[in-house]
Structure 1
Amino acid sequence: MKLSLALAALLCFTTWMSMVHATHGPIGNCLCPMLSKTRVKVERIVDYTNQSEGICPVAAIIFHTKTGKSLCSDPNSAWARRAKLKVDEERKKKTLKEMRQNEDESTSDVTPAASYASNNAPKRRGRHGRRRQRKKSRRGRKWLRKRA
């Protein structure tokens, strides 16, 4: 009798948990529990993701910055719209640049010639035949003489 009661309680508990998880969704997937009024320079934003309101408590746009931080913003604000447009334009430019680069690489059969000008350039030497060294301090210069 006790075993069947424990089994029934366990079955009820698992059913309840699965229903709660299905209706409210996993809370861990919501990165923005609330919106922030903080704004950063649009140049610092690298990417963005949309958070829908169905699973999470608020609808938000999550902006990702160059430093790796995330910023939750209202999707209806003018600043957020400008930032999204900027990121989209940057993506477009990047893809066009990559496409052009791929086209240039595929059509070009010419190998670039090696340049020897930098290797054959004469080195600047002082009166004792050593290379010139910058004067850092008196002690440093004496140390450099002893070392060379």
Structure 2
Amino acid sequence: MITLDINGKTHELDIADDMPLLYALRNQVGLNGAKYGCGLGQCGACTVLVNDKPVFSCLTPCGALAGKSVRTVESLGSVDQPGPLQKAFIDEQAAQCGYCIAGMIVRAQALLEANPHPDDETIRRHMAPNLCRCGTHVRIFAAIKSVVAQGGKV
């Protein structure tokens, strides 16, 4: 049994210590925001926050998460009440296929929680580990900048 704190709720899961967090989130807990992209930590589609830091959930074994807090895109807002970054991504039409967007939003959330007023280079550097195959990086950047322009409150 592994106990995971996910989005503020405790989950007791009968899983192996080496199960990637991504599989536990999707298959055990029913949170499908984080996506399986490459399985190698090279695309960022599976990005979640662990103790407020972005991590690739496809590479993170559940056994390494004892006493740590996991947050997924589902914790940042809902369809009816999107969070500031989610709303900005919608307003800027930052999604084309949408596959990378949850990971992008989660990574941006980590940045703005740590630094509500990053400069352009800081945003680019922070977002670099996450890839968008559709090429909407310009709109993703614009969405993040629009939240920064509104005070960076996420």
Shared topology, TM-score over 0.5? no
TM-score by length of 2: 0.27
Higher alpha-carbon Rg: 1
**Higher RCO (CA-CA < 8 Å; seq separation 6+):** 2
